[in-house]
Structure 1
Amino acid sequence: MIQSDEMAVVDANSEALGVPRKQLMESSGNAVARAVRDRTAPGESVAFVCGRGNNGGDAMVAARFLSDRKVTVHLLGRPATISTDIARENWAALEAAELDARVVRDSAEFAIDSPALVVDAMLGTGVTGRLREPEATIARRLNEAAVPVLSVDVPSGIDADTGEAAGPAVEADAVVTFHDMKPGLEALDVTVTVADIGIPDAAERLVERGDLLRLSRRPESHKGDHGEVLVVGGGPYTGAPALAAQAALRAGADLVRVACPEQIARDVQGYAEELIVRGFTGDRLRPTVVDSLLDRAATHDAVVLGPGLGNIDETLAAVQSFLTEYDGTAVVDADALQVVPTVETDATLVCTPHQGELRAMGGETAEDPRERAKLVESFATELGHTLLVKGAQDVVSDGEVTRRNRTGNPGMTVGGTGDVLAGVVAALVCRLPTHAAAAVGAYATGRAGDRVVERQGHGLLAGDLLAELSPALRYD
């Protein structure tokens, strides 16, 4: 079962792994053609009703493979407005092959002569909401006609995730969908065929460029809509909380505040004018300030806990106390990690250990990435929290879904890159589920490091990653 937005990620990841969308469209079209053959006989007429996106492109491919049927293809809209290059190429192929390809500029021009089957390819899983014209009128006319309908991926007008319709929708007799079942199809009284179109398993197992599609911003957004992050860190170190906070800003958080010992507050503030720094009493995090930190954390969407705190007993006791009382979302890093296995908390945690810290927490690791992924998954199940284990290949697991990230390079073994990663994940967890935030954060931070090394070679500093984070988070 796969949601529509997740399907878009998988499609894009497949392309990043070397299986282009054009190849997937050919496979999808073949699957539709097979479904048409199962429902019609040679010589019978089949009408394809195609939208101007890739759903219509799938049907255009199918039409080419049905030379033993009487095929007509009805494009809803002018060919110049076809929205993707590959769908446009397939329309041109129909015209070049002199198939019966017709342009329907409005619903009045749409006519079918009692075909044996209509193929509905107006809209796919990526489109939700009420059908517009001419699709709405054509959907009604198809429903009124005494003709069986095969829909491509999902009946037009039906939400692929819910099975609901906001207005008119095609009442299909059968659906051929791709790669995996869509949740909304289960709610329909319709025969569903799930076709394997050659998407590699790695498109879901590995974090790739397509995962960046998870990130979006509404044009009407306001300050704070994309998250407020509190970084709790510092004491023996000042750079770590400053790096985490700046990374959270570069990763899209609207506001980032740093809570650190008052003795280093001025130093932390000096790293960047955008930082909002609030000191607490003393030179280290101690249990006496936990209540005030909990009050501050309650007004933020996520907390980063750990960068630069150190590991004296009083600090670890304060971390224990904070997590025991906190019920929000926190990214736990550095010395704070050792507290996690023994704490009882209602908080949602993303833990970001390197392999040495993982062992100290009680987890196991291995050289082989696949074996390491299994061990991390098992430990995540035991902990009940999401793990992002850093390494040559990062492993992200919540005990149910486990993925590997392959961006990054040996230059990133320098100190401070983990603080950057923690800040990135904290910004993303304000907008995404924890597992997705960890996966995207690992990918983008590694990609930023790759961009730095490509430009200047090894010898990067953790601060070099900051300027590359925004481009690394952009889908292109």
Structure 2
Amino acid sequence: MITGERMAAVDENAAALGVARKQLMESSGHAVARAVRDVADTGSSVAIVAGRGNNGGDAFVAVRFLEGYETTTLLLGRAETIGTEIARENWDALECADYDVREVTDSQAFDLPDADVIVDAMLGTGISGDLREPAATAARAINDADATVVAVDVPSGFDADGGDHADNRVEADHVVTFHDVKPGLEALDAEITVADIGIPDAAERFVGPGDVDLARPTDREGRPYVIGGGPYTGAPALAAQSALRAGAELSFVAAPDSVTGEIQGYSEDLIVQPYEGDVLTPDQVDGLVETAERYENVVVLGPGLGTADETLEAVCQFLESYTGRAVVDADALAVVPDVDTDATLVCTPNRGELERMGGPDADSLADIADEIESFAADLGHVVLVKGADDVITDGSRTRISRSGTPGMKVGGTGDTLAGIVAALMEHAEPLDAAGAGAHVNGLAGERLAEDGGYGYLATDLLEEIPAVLWGETDV
């Protein structure tokens, strides 16, 4: 099962792998035509009601595979406003081949011809809520018609993310959905066909540009709260700065007062909040939890904390009390397997840290992705294991990020990753934020390697993060 939002990401990943969207549309249209042939004999009349997006484009392709049928294609809107180039090309092909195609520019003038089959291709995934004109008028006409209704991907008015169905929806008899079933479709009183349109498994398995689009912030939002520092000061500063670079509105660092001046010295953009002592101890936990819960921060727990017994005890107590979202990194990871927590965690170990947590070990993380998935299932949290290939899993779904370069072995790149993931978690689901964060961090390293080989530092990555997320770059 796949949501409409995730399906859009997979489509984009497939294109990045070399499977052109035009090729996928051809396969989708052919699948729709097969469904029409299954419900109506040659010579039957077919009315196609199409929108101006790729859902309509799929139907335009289907018309070419319905030779022997009497087809009429109604486009809701003007042809020059068709939203994508490939859909427009397929409309043009119908016009040039002298098919019966008509533009509907006024909902009051919508005239649905008598037909044996109606193909609903008005709105696909990504659209939710009640239908608006001219789709609302068209839907009423479709539902009132004495015809078999075949919907393309989802019936118009169906929310492919939440499974809700608008009150003025199209009532389909058959649904041809692509690649995988969408949530809620199986509850409809309709026959569901899942069509394989040639999207490779790699489009779901490997993190790509679609995953970055899915997690990319659309506005400054969120205030990550980095709890780190003590023995080390650079790590929390890097995590906090990378969160800002990835779209956070503000970035806070809670650290012992003995090192807050040094941490603040790395960047005037950080808000550093001191507490008494040289390291984190249980005495500070209640205050840290209260602050994180009150402001609903995404916490980054671990950078630079060290491994003092009292610090690890404090980490345990924090996780036992905290109920929000957190990225757990570095020294804090060791306690996670033994802690009962209601928090939503993304754990970001490297290979050695994963093994110390009780996870599997191998030279190639991709080769043991299934074992890491099982480990995450037992752990009950999202795990992002850092290596030449990063493995990201929530225990049932697993993705692999292949971005990055050997130059990223330099210290601090794991801290930048933690900050990016925290920023993306402000609006993206944990698995999506973790996958996109790993990919963005790796692509930032690739950009640096193009210019400077392996001699770059983790601080250099900070400058590249915005370019990867929002700039002119091939993600």
Q: Judge same fold: TM > 0.5, yes or no.
A: yes
**Does 1:166 pair with 2:166?**
yes
**Does 1:244 pair with 2:239?**
yes
Identity %: 59
Give the secondary structure class of the aligned counterpart of 1:207: coil
Once the two structures are overlaid, the 10-residue window that deviates more, 110-119 or 464-473, is 110-119
Q: Which residue identity is paired with 2:213?
A: L
**Does 1:462 pair with 2:458?**
yes
Contact 2:216-2:469 at 8 Å conserved across structures: no
Contact 1:163-1:188 at 8 Å conserved across structures: no
**Does 1:287 pair with 2:282?**
yes
**Does 1:102 pair with 2:102?**
yes
Contact 1:154-1:177 at 8 Å conserved across structures: yes
Alignment of 1:264-413 (within 5 A): 264-298=259-293, 299-413=295-409
Task: Please give the per-residue CA displacement for 1:189-220, whole angstroms capped at 9, x wherever unaligned.
Answer: 111111111111111111111012223667xx
Alpha carbons of structure 1 residues 240 and 369: separation in structure 2 relative to 1, 3 Å: closer
Deviation of residue 410 (structure 1)?
A: 0.5
Deviation of residue 380 (structure 1)?
A: 1.3
Give the secondary structure class of the aligned counterpart of 2:253: strand
Deviation of residue 368 (structure 1)?
A: 4.0
**Does 1:65 pair with 2:65?**
yes
Task: Please give the per-residue CA displacement for 1:242-281, whole angstroms capped at 9, x wherever unaligned.
Answer: 0000011111222211011112111111111110001111
Task: Please give the per-residue CA displacement for 1:70-127, whole angstroms capped at 9, x wherever unaligned.
Answer: 2221111111100001101111111121211111111344334422211111111121
**How far apart are the structure 2 equivalents of 1:316 and 1:149?**
62
Unpaired runs of at least 5, structure 2: none
**How far apart are the structure 1 equivalents of 2:216 and 2:335?**
34
Deviation of residue 161 (structure 1)?
A: 3.8
Give the secondary structure class of the aligned counterpart of 2:259: helix
CA RMSD of aligned residues (A): 1.8
Give the secondary structure class of the aligned counterpart of 1:427: helix
Once the two structures are overlaid, the 10-residue window that deviates more, 422-431 or 318-327, is 318-327
Give the secondary structure class of the aligned counterpart of 2:315: helix
Alpha carbons of structure 1 residues 375 and 160: separation in structure 2 relative to 1, 3 Å: closer
Q: Which residue identity is paired with 1:404?
A: I
Counterpart of 2:249 (choices 240, 244, 254) is: 254
Q: Which residue identity is paired with 1:381?
A: A
Q: Which residue of 1 is the match for residue 224 of structure 2?
A: 229
Q: Which residue of 1 is the match for residue 445 of structure 2?
A: 449
Q: Which residue identity is paired with 2:388?
A: A
Alpha carbons of structure 1 residues 189 and 419: separation in structure 2 relative to 1, 3 Å: same
Q: Which residue identity is paired with 1:261?
A: P
Alpha carbons of structure 1 residues 292 and 157: separation in structure 2 relative to 1, 3 Å: closer
**How far apart are the structure 2 equivalents of 1:32 and 1:158?**
18
**How far apart are the structure 1 equivalents of 2:259 and 2:65?**
71
Contact 1:163-1:186 at 8 Å conserved across structures: no
Q: Which residue identity is paired with 1:288?
A: D
Once the two structures are overlaid, the 10-residue window that deviates more, 324-333 or 121-130, is 324-333
Contact 2:215-2:436 at 8 Å conserved across structures: no
TM-score normalised according to structure 2 size: 0.95
Task: Please give the per-residue CA displacement for 1:44-69, whole angstroms capped at 9, x wherever unaligned.
Answer: 22111111000000000010111221
**Does 1:436 pair with 2:436?**
no
Deviation of residue 408 (structure 1)?
A: 0.8
**Does 1:45 pair with 2:45?**
yes
Once the two structures are overlaid, the 10-residue window that deviates more, 105-114 or 452-461, is 105-114
Q: How many residues align?
A: 471
Alpha carbons of structure 1 residues 276 and 181: separation in structure 2 relative to 1, 3 Å: same
Counterpart of 2:416 (choices 395, 413, 420) is: 420
Once the two structures are overlaid, the 10-residue window that deviates more, 148-157 or 319-328, is 319-328
Q: Which residue of 2 is the match for residue 212 of structure 1?
A: 212
Alpha carbons of structure 1 residues 41 and 360: separation in structure 2 relative to 1, 3 Å: same
Q: Which residue of 2 is the match for residue 263 of structure 1?
A: 258
Q: Which residue identity is paired with 2:360?
A: E
